[in-house]
Structure 1
Amino acid sequence: MEFIKYDALENDYLVLDPASCDLTLDPAVIRRICDRRHGLGSDGILYGPHLDDGQYGLRIFNPDGTECEKSGNGLRIFARYLRDAGYVTAGTAQVYLMMSDAMVDVAYLGDQDDLIQVAMGQYTLRSSEIPVLLELPVVLGVKMQVGQHSLTASCVNLGNPHCVVLDLPVTENTARTVGPALCESDLFPERVNVQITRVVDRQTLEIEIWERGAGYTLASGSSSCAAAITCHQLGLVDAEVTVHMPGGTVGVQIDKASGVHLTGPVKAVFAANLSQDLNSYLAKDK
């Protein structure tokens, strides 16, 4: 059973193609595969393409075994795999997100397929659609107390939920302390991805990230979009923003139709086969 590992700004994913890997991806197997000591080591699994009437269906799994609706880095990586594996030969493609029931446009911008743009689609600021349990129509620049943390939060959903925090130090330590407190707060019944954000200037943001299902993360495409969207809504940045993360930099463009595009690099790491020993390990407790 084959797999390929890719890296998008130190956010690494394994691509498992149903055509060459017939594993049953239950939560226990996913956790074992993503384990960095005993498995392959990954920030998640991209399972696809599931071919149906010309569609390239994709399922995205977090390393804790949960399935997620959308991942900007994951979509760019999967788009790169579609080119590498020969599924796509044109300069554009579409990916069908099976959990979200949404079609996503991708464009190949680099000569070596390493620079890829993803149309992340529509977003919403409505509290009920984040969801966030506050009696406010939208949450933009709202002061709140979460556990021991006093902060100013803004929330957006662009296929998955995000909470952007602007008034705390943008450090790994802040992400590791405030991130899980917000992510697991009763305010967010479906949990939430957290971005600790600093506005550098009108074209530049800096963020640290805590992701539901993954924890502290060096880079995230959807988190970059969330930070750009909320800061743009607050009038702090322009519609085109460069977002800096510990793992690297992406570009975010917000258009007038409430859509957002994400552009960033993807690198292939290696391709290999699962060993019989690992197959036996994955079969434990099943």
Structure 2
Amino acid sequence: MKFSKMHGIGNDYIYVNCFEETVSEPEKVSVVLSDRHKGVGGDGLVLIMPSDIADFRMRIFNADGSEAMMCGNATRCIGKYVYDMGLTDKTDITLETNSGIKYLKLYLKDNKVDSVTVDMGKAILVPKDIPVNSDLDRFVSQPVEICGRTWDITCVSMGNPHAVIFTEGVAELDLEKIGPHFENHELFPDRVNTEFAEVIDEHTLNMRVWERGSGETFACGTGTCATVVAAVLNGICKQDEEVLVHLRGGDLRITYKSDGTVLMTGPAEYVFEGTVSDEFINKAKENVVCRS
């Protein structure tokens, strides 16, 4: 099976062109190939597929085999892949995801995609739709005790659930220790991605992210969008004004518009192309247990 390794500011996935390849049991393949010691290494597996309702379709599987609704950084990488590989000559494309159709605008440099703006759709703020186990109209700056500390949490969905915390000393937080306690807290029936953000000013944030199914990653596109939405809800940032977010892997530019939609702009990069044998995949899949 041929694959491409790509990353969006350090959020790295293994991409398979399913116009040419067939991937059986992709949840198990994701576990096998995401292993950074025995596989290719990555935050998960992304399938680029035909669509009946958009230009292309994506399916994305986390490193633990669970299927995600979508991924902002991966959408940008798909935009670069389909243009640079000649699957389209359009610079405005539609992408079907498990959380609806996303709209991508591709920016070129030397006839290759240099950066991508993704219309991520409208932020979801009603707790039951995120989902969060709460009867509140919105879950904004609510105190929750986790790991012996009270955290003020704001919850947002960008097609997948996010819990956002604004705090100081983000760089010193032990995410390996506290991250799983947020991810699996009883508040979140589908688990949750957790963002820890530090305010620099009303147009600049620092952020780290713990992603459900993958652990700490260098970046999370939907999480960055959710963080800016949460910043607006908490009076830190303003709607219709671009916010620069610094992540471990690089920077994203986010605008939370007054109509409720969120725009995300950032780069996408190739790392390498490769081939993995069917024999290796099939043998490794025999011992894989996935998290559904």
What range describes the TM-score normalised by the shorter chain of this pair? over 0.9
Question: In 1, Cα distance between the equivalents of 2:2 and 2:119?
Answer: 29
Contact 2:256 2:263 in 1 (8 A): yes
Q: Structure 1 residues 53 and 166 mapped into 2: Cα distance closer, same or farther (>3 Å)?
A: closer
What are the within-5 Å matches in structure 2 for residues 50-65 of structure 1?
A: 50-52=50-52, 55-65=55-65
The TM-score, its normalising length taken from structure 1, stands at 0.93
**Paired residue for 2:107?**
109
- Superposed CA offset, 1:9-56 (max 9, x none): 111111111233222134332201111111111111111222436631
Q: Is 1:131 aligned to 2:114, yes or no? A: no
**Paired residue for 1:149?**
149
Contact 1:55 1:94 in 2 (8 A): yes
SS of residue paired to 2:280: helix
Question: In 2, Cα distance between the equivalents of 1:144 and 1:61?
Answer: 29
What are the within-5 Å matches in structure 2 for residues 188-267 of structure 1?
A: 188-238=188-238, 239-267=241-269
- Superposed CA offset, 1:32-86 (max 9, x none): 1111111111111111222436631111111110111111101111111111221
Question: In 2, Cα distance between the equivalents of 1:172 and 1:24?
Answer: 41
Question: In 2, Cα distance between the equivalents of 1:106 and 1:254?
Answer: 16
Question: In 2, Cα distance between the equivalents of 1:280 and 1:230?
Answer: 43
Q: CA deviation at 1:143?
A: 1.4
| Number of aligned residues | 284
SS of residue paired to 1:113: strand
Contact 1:92 1:108 in 2 (8 A): yes
- Superposed CA offset, 1:209-255 (max 9, x none): 10001101111111110110010121111331000011110000111
Contact 2:142 2:152 in 1 (8 A): yes
Q: Is 1:85 aligned to 2:72, yes or no? A: no
Amino acid at match of 2:264: L
Contact 1:33 1:282 in 2 (8 A): no
Contact 1:4 1:270 in 2 (8 A): yes
Q: CA deviation at 1:177?
A: 2.9
Contact 1:219 1:247 in 2 (8 A): yes
Question: In 1, Cα distance between the equivalents of 2:172 and 2:121?
Answer: 29
Amino acid at match of 1:246: R
- Superposed CA offset, 1:254-273 (max 9, x none): 11110001000111111122
Question: In 1, Cα distance between the equivalents of 2:136 and 2:156?
Answer: 13
What are the within-5 Å matches in structure 2 for residues 159-178 of structure 1?
A: 159-171=159-171, 173-178=173-178
**Paired residue for 1:40?**
40
Of 44-53 and 88-97, more deviation after overlay is shown by: 44-53
Q: CA deviation at 1:133?
A: 1.2
- Superposed CA offset, 1:103-144 (max 9, x none): 110011231302111111011211111111123211111112
Q: Equivalent of 2:274, from 269, 272, 276?
A: 272
Amino acid at match of 1:163: A
- Superposed CA offset, 1:138-160 (max 9, x none): 11111121242211110101101
**Paired residue for 1:183?**
183
Structure 2: 5+ residue runs without aligned partners? none
Structure 1: 5+ residue runs without aligned partners? none
- Superposed CA offset, 1:163-183 (max 9, x none): 001135312634333322111
